[in-house]
């Protein structure tokens, strides 16, 4: 009986958050170990379905870098990175789209639908579907300078930045109870495909939808200070200061930059959480303590 009472208390403690977020929009960037380890995949799918069942409009944007590299190597194409960004020539772009929009996207959709029920279904989309993500070639100089990195001389090919998001399409799906699962491939003016960093795509989609939350699933606990202690909450100005001081660096840097872009665009709060923890989304959203780092204005 004691165990049952504790479970009831847990459910009751989540009630204020369920009430607060009912009808709001969450955008989740799905990547890292949560995409590759089966028990974490199952945990993620159940979390997403639960969010939708309690009335939270949920959008998933996924990555797939390791899977793209594996497929390229199988085809005899050596993956090339320039300043941490995948060099995407025409041949590589075909593989990127095949892996992201095909294999990975449909696998995530099927996984979520396995755990969903009547009237709640995931639907897979590429950014090229319905002009969902209109894109242009990324401004290489501006991108690398913003990250404080040296601008590479060589061309990086079909690497894109987001110009516009078709929110009409997304809102139509969300209003009908669907969970859009989006592959970060954009479409240019001539119909050409662009490879878009999933963090950037998630940030721009969250901005366009005026999302309540943007959640990044990562393979780290969150943002840490110079002594390695987890920072549970940061303001935008504090995040900028830690970036300038070199405390935030490496793979965390693009996520923080994307987080700041989202906040400046109207997103209420950004969370960077450890996707290696089962049910990390629920623990961050529905508990007072949370498990990662939240960034807010």
Q: pLDDT digits over 233-267, tens only?
A: 999 999 989 988 889 987 888 889 899 999 999 99
pLDDT range class, residue 7, cuts 50, 70, 90: low
pLDDT range class, residue 130, cuts 50, 70, 90: very high
Q: What pLDDT score does 151 carry?
A: 83
**What are the angstrom distances between the C-alpha of 196 and each of 65, 82, 125?**
11, 15, 14
Q: What pLDDT score does 121 carry?
A: 94
Mean pLDDT of 118-145: 91
Q: Check pLDDT > 60 for residue 123.
A: yes
Q: Are 64 and 100 in contact (CB under 8 A)?
A: yes
pLDDT range class, residue 152, cuts 50, 70, 90: confident
Q: What pLDDT score does 4 carry?
A: 56
Q: Are 259 and 214 in contact (CB under 8 A)?
A: yes
Average pLDDT in the chain = 91
Max Cα–Cα distance, the chain, nearest Å: 67
Q: Check pLDDT > 90 for residue 194.
A: yes
In the chain, which ranges are continuous DSSP H helix?
Answer: 2-21, 38-53, 65-74, 90-97, 105-115, 140-146, 167-175, 198-208, 236-244, 252-264, 280-285
Percent of the chain scoring above 70 in pLDDT = 96
Distance CA 193, CA 91 (A): 12
Helix (H, G, I), strand (E, B) or coil at 266: coil
Mean pLDDT of 81-94: 87
Q: What pLDDT score does 290 carry?
A: 81
Measuring CA to CA, which residue among 20, 15, 23 is closest to residue 210? 23
The two counts, helices (H) then strands (E), for the chain are 11, 14
Angle at 26 between CA 250 and CA 107, to 5 degrees: 75
Is this prediction's pTM over 0.75?
yes
CATH number of 22-296: 3.40.1160.10
Q: Check pLDDT > 90 for residue 208.
A: yes
Domain segments of the chain as ranges: 22-296
What are the two backbone dihedrals, phi and then psi, of residue 209, each rounded to the nearest 5 degrees? -90, 0
Q: Check pLDDT > 70 for residue 203.
A: yes
**What is the token pair recorded at 162?**
């987001």
């Amino acid at each position: 009986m004691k165990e049952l009472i504790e479970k009831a208390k847990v459910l009751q403690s989540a009630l204020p958050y369920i009430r607060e977020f009912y009808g709001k929009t969450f955008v989740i960037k799905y990547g890292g170990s949560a995409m590759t380890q089966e028990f974490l995949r199952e945990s993620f799918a159940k979390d997403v379905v639960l969010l939708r069942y309690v009335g939270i409009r949920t959008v998933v944007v996924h990555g797939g870098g390791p899977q793209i590299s594996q497929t390229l190597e199988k085809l005899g194409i050596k993956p090339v990175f320039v300043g941490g960004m995948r060099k995407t020539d025409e041949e590589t772009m075909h593989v990127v789209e095949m892996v992201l929009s095909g294999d990975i996207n449909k696998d995530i959709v099927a996984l979520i639908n396995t755990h969903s029920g009547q009237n709640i279904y995931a639907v897979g989309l590429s950014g090229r579907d319905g002009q969902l993500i209109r894109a242009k070639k990324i401004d290489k100089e501006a991108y690398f300078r913003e990250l404080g990195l040296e601008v590479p001389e060589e061309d990086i090919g079909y690497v894109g930045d987001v110009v516009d998001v078709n929110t009409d399409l997304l809102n139509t799906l969300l209003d009908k109870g669907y969970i859009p699962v989006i592959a970060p491939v954009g479409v240019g003016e001539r119909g050409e495909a662009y490879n878009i960093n999933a963090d950037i795509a998630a940030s721009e989609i969250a901005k366009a939808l005026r999302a309540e939350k943007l959640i990044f699933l990562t393979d780290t606990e969150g943002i840490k200070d110079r002594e390695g202690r987890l920072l549970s909450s940061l303001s935008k100005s504090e995040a900028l200061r830690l970036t300038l001081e070199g405390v935030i660096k490496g793979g965390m840097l693009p996520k923080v930059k994307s987080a700041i872009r989202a906040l400046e665009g109207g997103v209420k709060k950004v969370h960077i959480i450890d996707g290696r923890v089962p049910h990390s989304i629920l623990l961050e959203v529905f508990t007072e303590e949370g498990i990662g780092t939240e960034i807010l204005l």
